[in-house]
Amino acid sequence: EPEVTQTPSHQVTQMGQEVILRCVPISNHLYFYWYRQILGQKVEFLVSFYNNEISEKSEIFDDQFSVERPDGSNFTLKIRSTKLEDSAMYFCASSTRGTQYFGPGTRLTVL
Amino acid sequence: AQTVTQSQPEMSVQEAETVTLSCTYDTSENNYYLFWYKQPPSRQMILVIRQEAYKQQNATENRFSVNFQKAAKSFSLKISDSQLGDTAMYFCAFMKVDYGQNFVFGPGTRLSVLP
């Protein structure tokens, strides 16, 4: 069964550094999403992406964040200058008809 | 804006028993989907069940079923014959029927199935 994959599973970085989180959505899906989950808290929407552009973003998704679909398969989330409060689990999801399928997540630790 | 509330931060149930997790939501939309996702300790988000708001019949998936009360904006999850593998965080989620819209998640209920 097709699934969403994410790499790396765990990323450790220094505050102020740039990180790129990678996702490979399910191949026939058209909508792509990033969510984050700070430890012990609920899952929060960051951004949705459709037809090669952002369709919606939350207030969390400020100028430090960007998304890209550089080729036909990958979907990336870049954080330009990480802050301590960016430490969280980041989930990628994709969908075609409502139900979103989530990847296993990338645990980002900012030191 | 939509909000999703799960009033039970933690619950426990004995193996083989039945448990019901509560979810309420607030929206002015008439057409939407509701979901329950399970997050085990691995932290993977796994779809449990989905309900379309236009359907009056409650969704069922094996041991999992929902009680969808549209007028009351309530969407509870019933787990029958609970198994140890059901131990997880359970999140209720709302999505407008406008493809590409994001999910709004509730704060989650931590369910422990006891042997």
The tens digit of pLDDT for each residue in A76-95 reads 999 999 999 999 999 999 99
Smallest CA–CA separation between B18 and chain A, in Å? 25
pLDDT for B26 beyond 80: yes
Query: What residues in A contact B104, CB-CB < 8 Å?
Result: 45
- For the stretch B56-106, pLDDT in tens is 899 999 999 999 999 999 999 999 999 999 999 999 999 987 756 789 999
Q: Report pLDDT for B107.
A: 94
Q: How confident is the model at residue B41 (pLDDT cuts 50, 70, 90)?
A: confident
Distance CA B95, CA A100 (A): 10
Contact B47 A101 (CB under 8 A): yes
Mean pLDDT of chain A: 93
pLDDT for B44 beyond 80: yes
pLDDT for A25 beyond 60: yes
Q: Is B50 on the interface with A (CB under 8 A)?
A: yes
Smallest CA–CA separation between B27 and chain A, in Å? 17
Q: Is A94 on the interface with B (CB under 8 A)?
A: no
Q: Which is nearest to A17 in space by CA: A106, A74, A90, A86?
A: A86
Q: Is B97 on the interface with A (CB under 8 A)?
A: yes
Q: Report pLDDT for A98.
A: 80
User: B56-70: buried (b, 16+ CB within 10 Å) or exposed (e) per residue?
Assistant: eeebeeeebbbebee
pLDDT for A101 beyond 60: yes
Q: Report pLDDT for B97.
A: 79
Q: What is the pairing mode between strands B109-114 and B10-14?
A: parallel
Q: Are A105 and A91 in contact (CB under 8 A)?
A: yes
Q: Are A100 and A94 in contact (CB under 8 A)?
A: yes
